[in-house]
Chains A and B, each alone.
Chain A
Amino acid sequence: MKEYFSKYLMLRKHNMKVAWKKAKRSKMCYLFLAPYAIIFTLFNILPVVTSICFSFTYYNILEPPRFIGLQNYISLILQDDVFLTGIKNTFMIAVITGPLGYIMSFLFAWLINELPRWVRSVAVIIFYAPSIAGNCYVIFSVFFRGDAYGYVNAFLMNLGLIDAPILWFINPTYMLPICMVVILWMSLGTGFLSFVAGLQGVDRSQFEAGYMDGIKNRWQELWYITLPNMKPMLMFGAVMAITQSFGVCDVTMALCGYPSTDYAARTIVTHLFDYGFSRFEMGYASAIATILFLMMILCNKAIQSMLRRVGT
């Protein structure tokens, strides 16, 4: 055992020496990377680390942080009903809009790819525009207005399906579904672009070879040729989809109000925003951020292992 351990240490030392020598030789690389690395560490790595540290403390900015162990997490899970609603809503939104948006992105990218060149570029603009249109989603509050002037209400009342206008953004039963529609509308984002570009890069000769080998329709072509070729883009799209679907808060806050009736449209990020920027309970908010962060990473790992099996 001891021998093994010392050998291991020696190996480590040797490796470190080699690495150090290599590092010394590639000083220039570090010099080039330095500006980015410093800023990146300061504003991306360090915040996550401090966030994890603060999550074990009580901190309200005015007083210095006080260590309280796991208290934040315990009260989050056992006492904070609103947080549980937030988790439930975030999961609902993520489970529905995440995969659906992802599939939609791919499906439309694939369908658009069949079009002639100039139609394709117009179609890409139309489909991509909602996700870069700033806060254009607030226009949905006009469509779903709570009185008879709202388009959806007027439409349904003219059809005779309902006889009184529905308060879309005040009644908890309708809030989440409408928010999901809006999020889906905006979900053809960066991942979609990556898919469109990736599909154009698939080697034409592979399709011809597949045709010779007896592929009969476009669906088989999709599963056996296109999808395996697109794996790296699919991974990238998955990362983007996770980010979008777990980070939902702007849409729900803008449409359903903040706070929303009965907290029915509260997401984890809204909760984080509430504690961090309205109540200044930074320790508690950090605990929420840490949980969200862990969830995102786990989800990412799960999806990546799933995507490895595509087309096999």
Chain B
Amino acid sequence: MSKKKKQENVEKEYRKKLIKRRKPNRSIAGDIFLYLFLILVAYIMAFPIIYAVNAALKPLDELFMFPPKIYAQNPTFDNFSDLFVTMGKSWVTFSRYLFNTVFITAVGTGGCLVVASMGAFVLAKYEFPGGKTFFKLVTVAMMFSFYVTAIPNYLIINFFGWVDTYWAIVVPAFAMPMGLFLMKQFMEGLPTSLIEAAKIDGANEWRVFSGIVMPNVKPAWMTLIIFSVQALWNNKASTFIYSEERKTLVYALQQIQSGGIARTGQGAAVLVVVMVVPIAIFIFSESQILETMASSGLKD
């Protein structure tokens, strides 16, 4: 082995050591403890969901086995197909319920995206009287839970004649305070020079908004979409909608779920169907959501 090579080897090892060096202020014991602790907690957190999925996969004899087993031994999709059979027996077809929910979710989310971003754009990038006050109102409104405003909301929706139509759910969803809030915080991070450059090139406000701002805040879109979908998909809307053919999927599913002990398996299947959509969306858009949430802080 030549001298040169040896030297290179030493250098390589040295570099390796440098890279491998641990972060400052971290002890090995602490790290091991941290991993063990996190694994334990993660298992506890995930357990009810794992259990629900397993219950949905269990065949009938396992569901009522004693002593009960947590994990399904012979997983089947019978519960899901039974669910469709039960749904098929009601005079409103499954596809209609699905259409209702998809329609409400899609229109509500789309509308919210456009309406909230338009508002957020001017709040973030322009100074005008009343803008700051309005934004403060929005942050306060984030605290309202559904029931606090439910009664007057009903009266207002009744005034417009929207009771028992999709609009009763869709239109209020446009003004989700969370949507505007996240959009505005994220848009503040956009460089103002970008907008000014576009204006010098002769773009009008609408062009700036649709051509420059919106394509640049795509991560915020995803975040708004997941919050909105999550709210609308889980929306039972039982206060506003009573016609069977306009009920949402979740509402119909929960009617099956409350069918007692004979529907145990189907009930678990319902749980899985309801939760799978928001979780799937979250998994696919996690990095974008985290990017947006980084600007979510409330400054005073």
Contact = CB atoms under 8 A, between A and B. Distances in A.
Interface of A: 19, 22-23, 26, 28-30, 32-33, 35-37, 39-40, 42-48, 50-51, 54, 108, 111-112, 114-115, 121, 123-130, 132-140, 142-143, 149, 151, 154, 185, 188, 190, 193-194, 196-198, 200-201, 207-208, 211, 215-218, 220-221, 230-233, 235-236, 239-240, 242-243, 246-247, 249, 269, 272-273, 276-277, 282, 285-286, 289, 292-293, 296-297, 300, 304, 308
A22 B127 CA distance: 9
A35 B153 CA distance: 18
B296 interface: yes
Q: Chain B contact residues: over half helix, strand or loop, or mixed?
A: helix
B265 to A, nearest CB: 12
B300 A235 contact: yes
Given A136-B275, A285-B151, A39 B172 contact: yes
Contacts of B1: none
Nearest to B66: A149
Nearest to B158: A61
Given A111-B34, A193-B293, A273-B147, A29 B126 contact: yes
A221 B25 contact: yes
Contacts of A132: 230, 275, 278-279, 282
Q: Chain A contact residues: over half helix, strand or loop, or mixed?
A: helix
Residue from A40, A211, A276 whose CB has the most chain B CB atoms within 10 Å = A40
B292 interface: yes
Contacts, number: 269
A33 B122 contact: yes
Interface in B48-104: 48-49, 51-52, 55, 66-68
B150 interface: yes
What is the size category of the interface that chain B forms with chain A? 35 or more
Nearest to A207: B24
Contacts of B41: 108
A197 B291 contact: yes
Nearest to A182: B48
A259 B138 CA distance: 34
Contact of B148 (A185, A196, A293): A293
Contacts of A297: 140, 143
Contact of B147 (A28, A112, A198, A269): A269
Nearest to A215: B25
Contact of B282 (A40, A43, A51, A125): A125
